[in-house]
Amino acid sequence: MSSVTVFVGLDYHQSGVQVCILNEAGDVLVNRKVPDDWQAIVALVASFGESVHAAVEACNGAANLADQLVEQAKWSVSLAHPGYVARIKQSPDKTDWGDARLLADLIRVGYLPKVWHAPDRVRELRRLVRYRQQLAARRRNTKLRIRALLRDHRVKITECNAWTKAWIDYVRETTELSGESRWIMNQHLDDLEHIIQKIKAAEARMKQAVTDDDLVKELLGKSGIGLITAVTIRAEIGRFDRFRNGKQLSRFCGLSPRNASSGQRQADAGIIKAGNPELRRVLMQSAQRLIRYDIHWSKLAAQLADRGKKKPVIVAAVANRWMRKLYHQMATYGLGYESRN
């Protein structure tokens, strides 16, 4: 078996994997599709070299394949950022052959735009967090349907606050709804009750999943952070020490202001359109709590308001600075789970 180093690009699909193998000079040794199985991939590459540096675009299933190649074949595998890889292409055409070739060449020359290969435990926690987020979205949509049905019948409830037990009991018993509307309302209320129970079960599962996580314990001791925020940060950010500074972390979270300057014109265009929107939503909610209950951030918010800034801008600015500060407080606590990178 040859001991030379080879560079492998993997264009992953559920139906198969396009494997491109380059030598150190950049020559294509083989570019072929194999079944979606790590052993088939290793068998193809084994005849060309035993020191393997591989790259695969981060997508659904790619991390699991990378885990198998790292653990079973002892390869060095990096996950590539799909968006940045697409921008590097020199052709508008897209083929599996060309994609695998590009990944292999980028890992060969050391120019691969990498993303963090999260450990399996972090990915499992991420799935749990996103499941709860899906349930919360269903709850929100169900409440909107209930509100819409009440407005359609011009039902106004002033005796109690919305979504309290008394309010829901009133909606169930009111005679202002009848016929099909009454049946539909009962279905919505039953759905809402069921979703709320599933959310509680998911939150209990989240709490159980992080009982031994030192980073989550440290986060829970910070102002403005509750269980959902702490677990979401742990799942989506993973390790604070994988970022070079607080500015990079804030940008990853989608909280940094976006510059829209050109020539002599200097302007901002809101926050950047990047990052996980659900993570950004959770951090924005935390910033609102900080503005309300933490004197330091309340003062900053007041200063921004005196300068004529609108509330959404104020909240985004507080969230941005808060995450930068949190980075410096938490960067030493990023080693709770084993990491491959």
**In this predicted structure, what is the pLDDT of residue 12?**
94
Assigned CATH topology for domain 5-115: Nucleotidyltransferase; domain 5 (3.30.420)
Rg (alpha carbons) of the chain, rounded to whole number: 25
Q: Where are the domains of the chain?
A: 5-115, 120-209, 237-333
Structure tokens at 276: 């996980």
Note the pLDDT of residue 284: 94
Question: What pLDDT does 2 receive?
Answer: 47
Cβ atoms of 79 and 66 within 8 Å: the answer is yes
Task: Kindly provide the b/e burial profile for residues 258-288, where b requires at least 16 CB atoms within 10 angstroms of the residue's own CB.
Answer: eeeeeeeeeeeeebbeebbebbbebbbbbbb
pLDDT tens for 10-42 read 999 988 999 999 999 999 999 999 999 999 999
pLDDT at position 244 is: 92
pLDDT, residue 275, reads 80
Per-residue b or e along 77-107, where b marks 16 or more CB atoms closer than 10 Å to that residue's CB:
bbbbeeeebeeeeeeeeeebebbbbbbbbbb
pLDDT beneath 50: ranges in the chain: 1-2, 339, 341
pTM: 0.87
